[in-house]
Amino acid sequence: MTIDLNIKIIRRFGENLNQSESFHKTLKKIRIGKLPIMVKSDICVLRQYKHLNHKITGECYVDAGGYFLINGSEKIVIPQERAAENRIYCFNIKKNNNKWSWMSEVKSVPDYKCISPKQINMMIASRNNGFGHPMYIQIPRIKQPVPLFILFRALGIVSDKEICRMIVLNIEDKKMKKMIFGLKASIVQANKCMTEEESLQFIVNLAMFTPINMEKEAGEKKKREFTISVLKNDLFP
């Protein structure tokens, strides 16, 4: 495959580079690479001469084509199917998992950045804690799932009422009473961390960060900064 290039060269000179002159040059048939041709495609020689019998061309009569020949080897293009980003997928996993009954996952990626998706999982525990089935969030680079309400408090939303309002939007709506009642188990599960500082420290203790060649205070500070960075960049980038 070749292309033609039109190049304009501007040369500036003078004491303050305030004088200039231009040159134009056309470079023709610049080779930039090769594109393989798919066997039996419209531009393939075997397709162009349909009147020739396969016995004459020496080709197999059952060869359907659809592949490429590169350096004597057959190559094919394989499509890859994957889940779309920024979509929530829910799964019933109680049959294959004794710890969790339901799990939802979302692979978050911002529209304005080209980065790898960050996967977040939310699980509903199979075990009843006496008030229902609590919810947990699995965050990248955090060792264990974090209770839902502890995560909210670490993000600065402290009161149970405000957290419920963030989840169901309208806590006065009678249709949402069943959903609010379902959050009771998660509220009770998070009663050991009632402040933002306690909740953040709870997650810091679970962070996958090992200080190396640092004093204790410096290591704890770095681990805390690492955890805050995870919540800021990996939770919902």
Instruction: Return mean pLDDT, the chain.
Output: 88
- Residues 24, 114 within the same domain: no
Residues 51 and 142 in one domain: no
pLDDT at position 23 is: 80
Residues 94, 59, single domain; the answer is no
Segments forming the whole domain that contains residue 197: 88-233
Q: Is the pLDDT of residue 170 over 80?
A: yes
> Has residue 123 been placed in a domain?
yes
**What pLDDT is recorded for position 3?**
64
HEC-encoded secondary structure of the chain: CEEEEEEEEEEEECCCCCEEEEEEEEEEEEECCCCCCCCCCCCCHHHHCCCCCHHHHCCCCCCCCCCEEECCEEECCCCCCCCCCCCEEEEECCCCCCCEEEEEEEEECCCCCCCCCEEEEEEEECCCCCCCCCEEEECCCECCCEEHHHHHHHCCCCCHHHHHHHHHCCCCCHHHHHHHHHCHHHHHHCCCCCCHHHHHHHHHCCECCCCCCCCHHHHHHHHHHHHHHHHHHCCCC
Percent of the chain having pLDDT more than 70? 98
Tell whether 58 and 106 lie within a shared domain: no
Q: Which of 46-55, 114-123, 144-153, 158-167 has the lowest mean pLDDT?
A: 46-55
Across residues 91-113, what is the average pLDDT? Answer: 90
Tell me the pTM.
0.69
If asked whether residues 125 and 151 sit together in one domain, one would say: yes
Name the band, by pLDDT with cuts 50, 70 and 90, for residue 137: very high
Same domain, 20 and 100: no
- What per-residue confidence (pLDDT) applies to 1? 54
Task: Please give the tally of structural domains in the chain.
Answer: 2
Contact 87/117 with Cβ under 8 angstroms? no
Length of the chain: 237
